[in-house]
Structure 1
Amino acid sequence: MTTESVPVLIVGGSLAGLSAAVFLAWWGVPVMVVERHPGSSPHPRAIGYTTRTVELFRAAGIEMPESRQGSVSPRRARVESLAGAWFEEYAWTPGGAQPRIEFSPVRAAAVAQDRLEPILRRRALELGADIRLSTEFIGFTEDGDGVSAVLRHRDSGREYGVRARYMVAADGAASGIRTALGIGRTGEGLLSTQRSVLFRAPLDEYLERGVVQFEIQQPDFRAFLATYSDGRWVLMLGDDVDRDEDAQRERVRKAIGRTDVPIELITTGRWELAALVADRFSSGRVFLAGDAAHQLPPNRGGFGANTGIEDAHNLAWKLAAVLSGQAAPALLDTYDAERRPIAELRHDQLFARADFKAHLKAPKPDVPILDDVAIELGQLYRSAAILGAGPDLPPARRPDQWAGQPGTRAPHLPVMADGEERSILDLFQRGWVLLSEDDRWAAACESGRRLGVPITFAGIGTDAKPMKPDAFPAAYGITATGATLVRPDGYIAWRTAHAPADRARALTAALGHLTGLEP
């Protein structure tokens, strides 16, 4: 049996796996993706992608397609049927409308997963990723230097080996890799088994008010109906009954409340609505991502797919840094330290909200409901790759309440850079970046580079000029002589409000601690 070699092997070519491939290839890491299916699932599945996800894709050269849902604020309604009585409408964000603050240069997007995956696949290939469809993962062994996997091409039956330094398990909620590693899961568990009917019908007239999800409530019928805003709809049924096409059409017509609408059945599905988080996100040289790490049911905050995409981004830059020698292997331990608490936070937020609170198996102390913007743009990382994020801080809050706190996403600011108006976020995600209004910090970056870590200095007021005076110190919480160090993933790793006596020494010590490359 022949054996090939690659730095990173990704098992699973859906959203999390393809995102990991894009981000790793973007940072220059050769990567192989194996996916047992010949392409994307015929069922669109996820559709909503948060502002943070769009930021990450944008930085990697991915432009999200236009969508009707992107032009209006989405809403949910409780109805008798589409054509029947509408009992109540809900805002998408808990608490209703939020103060109008521009937290990002982009907006959330609504794109069916089967439309997004080919875009990710193409971008990964453009960046040099090796994607192998119709390829089955048979098993693996691990040693101190890497992972040895056995693969089988499903059409030819040919088996071959792959030797990788690291492996990413993005093989779904029923992850065989997670099971083989003996990693358990905790959480609310199985909530229900759902049957879905994907169909096409001309129902756009019911979308004019911005409602895109409908809770169907009739005396003898309960269901959930949602649109993909491209003519396709999905009807979710919680009774786990296998229906023939006539019975499927009957259920769809009941949800619509009309019999005169042409219905084209596309496909059906059966899946488990569950909430479970893996007890560990890594084991040796193997890392769990996406549903393999956390199974979170669909909700108005978009916690499921988006959490997996953020996993991939967090892990990718760390693998790239370790493989290039720009960080010690201990940096990889921070993946679990940073991402698992985020999954647990989102799990708890799901059951604090009305959508899933009724599914709790036992009463729990009230969990305060956080704004969606706090969860997606204001989450806090605590790990050895962050300096200054103590245990006294909350797990998330609105970005404008953090003011540049280490462990949080670097705040968006409109700036003039390279002769055009841009976001300060455009300066990040290619390496370490030091921000300051004091140009004397530029020389300190030279000392930091002696560790072998590329670090760029961005002078605020010179390289990037904020559109509003005093916006930078207010957003980043430092004085005119202070500095902020931003990681390759756009998170603040360290800051000093005022200039220390020896800038170079302070920066080198911080960077050495963060990367494990102590001077």
Structure 2
Amino acid sequence: MERTSVIIIGGSLVGLSASLFLAWRGVPHILIEKHRGSSPHPRAIGFTETTLEHFRTVGIADHIPQVPPQTRLRRATVTSLTGERLAETDWTPGQSARHSGELSPCTGASIAQDKLEPILRQAALDRGADLRLGVECLSFGQTDAGVTVRVRPLDGSPAYDIFADYLIAADGANSPIRESLGITRSGVGHLRTLRSLLFHCPQADAALVSGIQQYEIEQSDFHAFLTTYSDSRWVLMFDDDRERSETELHTAVLRALGQEMPFEMINTGRWEMAGRIADQYAQGRIFLAGDAAHQLPPTRGGFGANTGIDDVWNLTWKLQYVLAGTASPALLETYDAERRPIGWLRHQQTFSRPDYAKWVGSDFIPDTLLSDESMEFGQLVRSAAVIGAGRELPAAASPVEWAGQPGTRAPHLWGRRNEQRLSTLDLFGKGFVMLSEDPAWLSAIGDLPIDGIAVGRDIVFASDNAFSTHFGVGAHGAVLVRPDGIVACRTNMQANNDLLRKTFCKVAFAKTAL
């Protein structure tokens, strides 16, 4: 029997991201994936600023082409790609999905999933990951001591067992692991099943000069959705589950394009429009991530793949700390506490927006729509690993309003360190970080495993009040940031070693003392 610290089942976007993050943190693990490569259908395409921030931290953001600053995703209702434009719609009514250069050092990426996955795969391998492709999971079982997984290579080699301390189930919306655990799901459930066609058409790319990337095709007897992967591949989504002949598909593409253009049909797809959130994200030593935890339809907010990548960014540092014996296993309980409400928030926001609200039943109670920047940068997590994120606070708000609120992503702010320009986000990732203008707080760290950053000396901002404005603390206060970039706590009290020690033990270790 082989032995490792973590086993990941599923090697698509979320599983590969988990592997990359664990490898970057030096955590031994094995990834099991039955396919040898990426899906022939590119699937996801939009990756948010937050996702790119995670990739920036582990050193691969430069390998992923980001969209130009101030680019926004635009959708129009048209008679055809080359026909009349009838209207333009926003994901959030009254708002444009515009990237804000002031809120993040990243701008997001428009890259097809089948092109991003090889980048993640190679980056994980370069950092020491053990990726076993063409291997299927046959069964698993867990005890108080760990998880045993039986796997079988698809090349005919014998099956064998792997024992791990923990397991991450990134095995998709139909997750056999989740089903075997008996974990139920809630939400709007199944709404529709739709068909799609992927085709290659370089001549159609000329239409993109308009700045519109998504097209609702409205003709008297033909309705469909057309969008691009920005590499001359286009996907035409039909509004029904009817199988079409090759001739019918060819005709449908020409109707969507609006004029004769040469194109090549690549493959067809079939997907379920549904909303389901697991009622538990963890059971024992097994954690659900990605579609196994939350099944959501494609959205302009990227609430599917990006949410899954954020899941494992939250989970992997906690696994690192627990496996190293630094933190109590109780820290892992905060994964469900923090990520499941985010899954629900995104479920509600998805089906409260016009794109999908028309498909849900009358028993669905829509939420007040939150701004795009609130959903991207201002979600709040609450758990024992955060101090000061009370139930009275909203689930999300603009990061400008939060101003360093505990439980939210630490604010991005440009500064200089040793004459090098960097974002405050570049300070976080490996361990706990405390920022303060008061040298007494840095002295109070003592032997605690915290990296102390002296504002005004170790990092210098353009204005004297920039730190206090963005992080919400005064000249004698301090902010403690977790390895995942979430503000753990902050204070305006005078420096106190005993207070810092107790606070740190609570948020980092789920303990009362070191």
Taking structure 1 as the reference length, what is the TM-score of the superposition? Answer: 0.96
CA deviations on 1:160-181 (whole Å, 9 max, x unpaired) are 1000000000000000000000
Once residues 281 and 88 of structure 2 are traced to their aligned partners in structure 1, the CA distance between those partners, rounded to angstroms, is: 38
3-state SS of the aligned residue for 1:394?
A: coil
CA contact (8 A) 1:70 1:110 kept: no
3-state SS of the aligned residue for 1:152?
A: strand
Structure 1 residue 312 and structure 2 residue 306: aligned? no
**Matching residue of 2:503:** 510
**Matching residue of 1:463:** 458
CA contact (8 A) 1:68 1:229 kept: no
3-state SS of the aligned residue for 2:446?
A: helix
3-state SS of the aligned residue for 1:208?
A: helix
**Matching residue of 1:445:** 445
Once residues 266 and 218 of structure 1 are traced to their aligned partners in structure 2, the CA distance between those partners, rounded to angstroms, is: 25
CA deviations on 1:126-175 (whole Å, 9 max, x unpaired) are 11110011100101010001000000101124201000000000000000
Q: State how many pairs are aligned.
A: 509
**Matching residue of 1:226:** 227
**Matching residue of 2:419:** 419
Matches within 5 A, 1:139-178: 139-178=139-178
Q: Note closer, same or farther for the CA distance 1:25–1:348 as it changes in structure 2 (3 Å cut).
A: same
Per-residue deviation at 1:398? 0.5
Structure 1 residue 75 and structure 2 residue 69: aligned? no
Matches within 5 A, 1:294-443: 294-443=294-443
CA contact (8 A) 1:67 1:229 kept: no
CA contact (8 A) 1:69 1:110 kept: no
Once residues 481 and 475 of structure 2 are traced to their aligned partners in structure 1, the CA distance between those partners, rounded to angstroms, is: 17
CA contact (8 A) 2:101 2:107 kept: no
Amino acid in the other structure paired with 2:445:
C
Per-residue deviation at 1:243? 2.3
Aligned-residue Cα RMSD (Å) equals 1.5
CA contact (8 A) 2:68 2:107 kept: no
CA contact (8 A) 2:188 2:364 kept: no
CA contact (8 A) 1:478 1:498 kept: no
Per-residue deviation at 1:499? 1.5
3-state SS of the aligned residue for 1:446?
A: coil
Once residues 406 and 378 of structure 2 are traced to their aligned partners in structure 1, the CA distance between those partners, rounded to angstroms, is: 11
CA contact (8 A) 2:69 2:101 kept: no
**Matching residue of 2:194:** 194
Per-residue deviation at 1:68? 6.6
Once residues 57 and 94 of structure 2 are traced to their aligned partners in structure 1, the CA distance between those partners, rounded to angstroms, is: 31
Matches within 5 A, 1:7-46: 7-46=5-44
Structure 1 residue 212 and structure 2 residue 213: aligned? yes
Q: Percent identity?
A: 50
Q: Note closer, same or farther for the CA distance 1:394–1:68 as it changes in structure 2 (3 Å cut).
A: closer
Per-residue deviation at 1:263? 1.2
CA deviations on 1:298-353 (whole Å, 9 max, x unpaired) are 11111110000000100001101100112100000000000000010010001111
Once residues 71 and 384 of structure 1 are traced to their aligned partners in structure 2, the CA distance between those partners, rounded to angstroms, is: 37
Once residues 156 and 99 of structure 1 are traced to their aligned partners in structure 2, the CA distance between those partners, rounded to angstroms, is: 49
Per-residue deviation at 1:362? 1.5
Once residues 9 and 364 of structure 1 are traced to their aligned partners in structure 2, the CA distance between those partners, rounded to angstroms, is: 37
Matches within 5 A, 1:207-286: 207-258=208-259, 260-286=260-286
**Matching residue of 1:490:** 485
Once residues 360 and 9 of structure 1 are traced to their aligned partners in structure 2, the CA distance between those partners, rounded to angstroms, is: 37
3-state SS of the aligned residue for 2:94?
A: coil
Once residues 68 and 360 of structure 2 are traced to their aligned partners in structure 1, the CA distance between those partners, rounded to angstroms, is: 31
Long gaps (5+) in structure 1: none
Once residues 315 and 478 of structure 1 are traced to their aligned partners in structure 2, the CA distance between those partners, rounded to angstroms, is: 28
**Matching residue of 2:65:** 66
CA contact (8 A) 1:151 1:161 kept: yes
CA deviations on 1:103-123 (whole Å, 9 max, x unpaired) are 111111111000000000001
